[in-house]
Amino acid sequence: MISLYTDIFYIFAKVKKRNYMKNKQKNQILLMIIMLVAAAAFLRQFIGIPNVTPIAAIALFGATYIKRKEFAILLPLLILLISDIFIGFYSPVLMAGVYGSFILIAMIGFALRRKVTPLTIAGSSIASSIVFFIITNFVVWAQGLWYPLSAEGLISCYAMGLPFFRYEVLGTLAFTMFFFGSYELVTRKFFSIQQA
Domain boundaries, the chain: 49-179
**% pLDDT > 90, the chain:** 51
pLDDT at res. 87: 80
Q: How far apart are the first and last CA of the chain?
A: 48
pLDDT at res. 188: 76
For the chain, the average pLDDT equals 83
pLDDT at res. 5: 46
Contacts of 113 (CB under 8 A, 6+ apart): 63, 64
Average pLDDT over residues 180-194: 73
pLDDT at 13 over 50: yes
Q: Which of 194, 179, 186 is nearest to 60 (CA)?
A: 179
Say what the pTM is: 0.77
Contacts of 42 (CB under 8 A, 6+ apart): none
Q: What is the DSSP letter of 117?
A: -
The region that residue 51 occupies, defined by phi over 0 for left and psi between -120 and 50 for alpha, beta otherwise, is left
Q: How far apart are CA 80 and CA 181, in angstroms?
A: 23
Q: How far apart are CA 146 and CA 134, in angstroms?
A: 16
Q: How far apart are CA 177 and CA 179, in angstroms?
A: 6
pLDDT tens digit string along 89-118?
899 999 999 999 999 999 999 999 999 999
**Alpha helices (runs of H) in the chain, residue ranges in sequence order:** 2-22, 24-43, 55-65, 69-87, 92-112, 118-143, 151-195
pLDDT at 31 over 90: no
